[in-house]
Each structure stands twice: as C-alpha cells, then as structure tokens.
Amino acid sequence: MPSAETNGANGTDGHLSPIQFFNVIDGKPRASEDHHQVIDPRTEEPLWDAPIATARDLDDAVEAANRAFKTWRRSTTAERQKAVHDVANCILENVDILTEVQMRETGKSKLMSKFDVERSAWHFEYYRTVALEDELQYEDDTVRIIATHAPIGVLGAISPWNFPLILSTVKVVSALATGNCVIIKPSPFTPYSLLKFCELAQSVLPPGVFQALNGGADLGERMTLHPGIHHISFTGTTAVGQRILRNCAGTLKKVILELAGNDACIVCGDADLDAVVPQVATGALFHAGQVCVASKRIYVHESLYDRFLDRLVEESRKFAVDDERSASFGPLSNRANYERALGFIEDCRKNGYRIVAGGDVRPEGKKGFWIPPTIVAKPPDDALLVREEQFAPIVPVMSWTEEDDVIARANLDNAGLGASVYTPDLDRAQRIARQLESGTVWINQFERPHHAGFFGGWKLSGFGGELGKQGLLHYCHTQSLQIAKP
C-alpha cells in the first residue's frame, strides 16, 4: 500500500507530520490553487493545508464516476466483497497515519481515534459476508415473482465532523457493496482523514469508483443539485437535511438523511444504580457529548432521583478535561460548536437553573475548546437545554413518576434518532421502548449503533437509513421480475 508519510512537507507547522492532502478524482490525487486550514481543537493551532475543490473538479469527478459505474455495476457480488475486504486491509495497514490525522482534526485522544479507524475497517469487513440476494416474493401455477436489487448510480456522500471516518465509511461501503460509485465530501472541519483514506484506497479500487472532494456548503449544494449524481446520503443537522431534501426533489434523487437526535434516556425506579450510572454517564459524555445518539435528556424515576444525581456527578469527574487519562473525553471539535455550547450554559445561568457539576469555561489564556462535564438538575421541559440538542457535555437530568408521562415527554419531534431505557424488567423495558418514537432504542446499555443493526431516524431526525443488511436496500432500486409460467 502507498504510505501517506512519504508525501512531503507543506510547512504548516513544524510539529506536524509532513503530510500533503489532495482531492481524489478518477483514481488520481489532484491539487488545488485554493486551500484552507483546520484548527486543532486541543491547541487552537492551524493544521495542514486542505485543498478546496472547484465546480470543475466536481464535474470531472461526476463524469469519472458515471464512466466507472458502467463497469462497476456489472461486477459480481464476490468481486465487490473482495474489493471491500481489500479496502478494510488498506485501512488497517495505514492505521497509524489515519489515527494521527483524525486525532488532530477532531481533538480526540489517540486511543479513541485509533478505535474509530479500526471500527471503520469493521464496517467493510461486515459487508464482506453480507449481501442482498434475489427474493422469491410469490409463486403459483401461473407466475413466479422475484425481487432483485439494482444499484442506483453515483452516490454523493456528505459527511459530518464528529466521527469523520466511522460515519463516512458506512456510506462508502454501502455504496460499493451494492455496485454504486461514490463521491464523498468531508466536513470542512475534518477534511484530512477522509481525503487521505480515499487516496490510499485507490490502490485497491478501479478509478472513479470512490472519489473525494473537499469544500464547504457551496460544494455540498452543487452535489445535491447535480444531474449526474443520483443519490445523496447526508449526516448532519435537521435544517441542512431539509434543504438537501428540497434540492434533491428537482431531479428526484434518492435520499438518506441521518439528522439531529435530542435523544431521551429513561431510568426506571428498579434500576441498579451501580450498573446504570456508569452506562448513562458514558452515553451522555463520551466524546464530550458530540454523538448523534448520545443521551441528551435523562429522565430518572423520582424514587431514586437524588441518589442517581449524586452518583452521576461523581461519575462525571472521571471524564477529565485536558487529560489523556480520560481517553473517551475531549474538547469540542470546533469553535462553532464550542461557542454554541457556551450559549446553552449561559441560558441555564440566566434562567437560574441548578448546575450541580461543571458549568465553568476554560480560563482566559488556556488553549483548546474544552467544556467540563456539566450537569443541570431538573430544568423545566421548556428549557432550551431540554428542547434542543446540545451536542456538548451539558446534561439535563429530570425526574418522572408516571410511565405514560415520561414517554410523552421523551417523544419530541427532534428526538427520533435514538433512545435508551434502563430497568431489569425486560418486559417493561420493551413495553416502554415500543412506545418511544425513535429509530433505535437501546435497553440496559448506552447508545452506540451496531454495524449489523439497521439505523435510521424518525420524524425530524431522519429519512431512510443505513447499516445492517436492511440498510443496503436504501442504496438500491428494487426490481420486480414477474415470470409467466407456461
């Protein structure tokens, strides 16, 4: 495999590894006249030059993808499964450089970044043995009806900044495994790991099958409007997702949207606090709360509320600020999210809500977009922190007494991505879970999507879905073959 460490220096910062980054078009790296630099969330120092793709770059990539699709769509399942296995090996053989690059752009610890890289390879390995087969839908004496699955064409994948590799590889492998070609646009906050991953993957894929273009919202807008792109998969905010859906209507593109999730966590009165509190703390504070399915609103039964709150405050101290000992915690990943998070804290202070842990900001002169774990006790249901997804380590903890009431409070329109329920009574857990209006509900575990389980949002949290065998259906057309019998 090519080594990313031999590309030469760009002189951005003497402490950075000498790495160059390119857009990837038709199997080749392409430089750009215009660049931007991302800010390291831990140090607030600039990172490497990242190329900015032009409208011409996009047209060239779309032309190359459509040309490649003519051949790639005819590849066999076995050929595609070999290709995704080769990509998985490519990731693992370059785990060190991908770990370093993603660590710097996201602010994650080295341990967490390495886990993300390895998890990305798992996505490819999973689809090495999982594929869609023809289905016999109906048969009688006169007709046999078979459902078969055809690739859509060229996918435009628009990726988020919180888990740039994990969430992007879901889109890439789903497209490749079903015979589609893919052009991916990383978030401008985290362009490096995806650009480098795509460049490395060219050694095992045909030209034009997987390409990468870096740019801002204007590039994403052009992708959603481009007639040569047939399918869009986007992870991000509800407002942007709604705009993408409107744009795609003009050419009737297929669309997958994974959008914001103001996810509820319900702790029942019979919960074992020794087991549950560490799980809930991790669900809320992992990666500083910058997880689409993080526990954003915690509802604890009134009978154990005070004990739960005391233990949660104590547990939150394990998520240390600016300290590698807390491998699962880090700074906010960019200044925009940091300043937005400070607005939530300020709103809590202005309204006199009881902040029982954290609430401070980094002292003046300190570097990094750090916010300590912050816990707010019993804010009202109409509080900003309860109504809106915070995407930060700022956690409201409310109480409840009646099951019907807490279910109704949990089911906000912007809370359709995930939820969690904690009780040793599994019948009760499932009864509650089946009434929650969320695409995935985790029972007695904190929220993390599994590569084998379908994942999609309801209501304002999504459109379509991905992951698991069922997720592949959202990257295909279904064709019905109705065969007359003699």
pTM over 0.95: no
pLDDT at 364 over 90: no
CB 233 within 8 A of CB 466: yes
Predicted local confidence at residue 430, as pLDDT: 98
Q: 268 catalytic, yes or no?
A: no
- Checking if the pLDDT of 326 tops 70, the result is no
* pLDDT for 5: 35
The verdict on whether 90 is a catalytic residue reads: no
pLDDT digits (tens, 9 = 90+) for 117-150: 999 999 999 999 999 999 999 999 999 999 999 9
Contact 36, 188 (CB under 8 A): yes
Average pLDDT of the chain, as a whole number = 94
- Compute the average pLDDT of residues 455-482: 97
Q: Which of 258, 315, 389, 447 is catalytic?
A: 258
List pLDDT tens digits, range 162-191: 999 999 999 999 999 999 999 999 999 999
Per-residue pLDDT tens over the stretch 31-60? 999 999 999 999 999 999 999 999 999 999
Examine the pLDDT at 195 and tell me if it is beyond 90. Answer: yes
Which position among 292, 315, 447, 466 bears the catalytic label?
Answer: 292
